[in-house]
Amino acid sequence: MDDERDPLIDEIAASLKAPVRVSPELDARVLARIRRPRPGPLARAWRWLAEPRAIAVSPLAAGGALAAALLLAALGIRRERAARPGRGAAPVADASPTAAARGAGDARLAGARREMGAGARVVHFVLIAPGASSVAIVGDFNDWSTTATPMHRASEGGAWSVSIPLRPGRYAYSFIVNGRQWMPDPLAPPAPHDDFGKPNSVVTVGGRAT
């Protein structure tokens, strides 16, 4: 067997077994790398946070955390929906009790609502009109007066809003932008008929009239 061994293999083996000659400077370079300065407290804190580790959590705690996260997400979505009307927002009164509660913090509105009876609800109207200098709402609830119900600029993003207490019923309405441009609510149901060439939207307040 030994006779059949290839001399080339022996040569390679001998080469591999030979001690490796290392430059004397290598040790110094390696040690210099190892002796890095101690990181500061912020770096240590970041490393502590970023370092993966196993955490033991009971199923009960995990379930509670998940439920809280879902609740927060749901609340966030509701707020986001209310605040992102596109160019307009469907009035929210017909959405039922939650809508009424949105205006409940305003004492004036709450008083007006009480005067109108237990069935009244506060309806929050919003229109996004960034370039507008004024926006008013007109409809069955204000005798179609073009000046009775100005809307208020709600944000720098061009949102105009107003809250109006309404009894149960169905109301036609429209917006007037800059005092002359009639405009239906882009996201509210359109009135099925247009008697005067300027289409309306409609809002319906549910419940029993008192």
Residues found near other proteins in the complex (CB under 8 A)? 90, 94-96, 138, 140, 143-146, 167-170, 172, 182, 189-193, 195-198, 200, 202, 204, 206-209
> Rounded to whole angstroms, how far apart are CA atoms 147 and 10?
105
Cα distance between the two ends of the chain: 112
Quote the least distance from Cβ 177 to other proteins, whole Å.
Answer: 15
- Closest CB to other proteins among residues 153, 167: 167
Query: Measured from the CB atom, is 160 or 171 closer to other proteins?
Result: 171
Nearer Cβ to other proteins (158/189): 189
CB of 139 to other proteins, least distance (A): 8
| Of residues 103 and 207, the one with the C-beta less far from other proteins | 207
The nearer residue to other proteins, 108 or 170, going by C-beta atoms, is 170
Local structure of residue 84 (DSSP, 8 states): -
Residue type, 38: R
Positive or negative torsion for Cα 100, 106, 109, 111: positive
**In the complex, least distance from residue 134 CB atom to other proteins, rounded to whole angstroms:** 16
- The Cα-based distances of 125 to 16, 19, 23, 74, 161 in angstroms read 85, 86, 81, 22, 5
Q: How far is the CB of 175 from other proteins (least distance, A)?
A: 13
Collapse the DSSP code of 125 into the 3-class scheme (helix H, G, I; strand E, B; otherwise coil) and give the result. Answer: strand
Query: In sequence order, what are the residues at sequence separation of 6 or more whose Cβ sits closer than 8 angstroms to the Cβ of residue 50?
Result: none
Q: Give min distance, CB of 104 to other proteins, in A.
A: 19
Distance CA 170, CA 200 (A): 12
CB of 198 to other proteins, least distance (A): 5
Looking at residue 23, the DSSP 8-state letter turns out to be -
Q: Which is nearer to other proteins, 90 or 109 (CB)?
A: 90
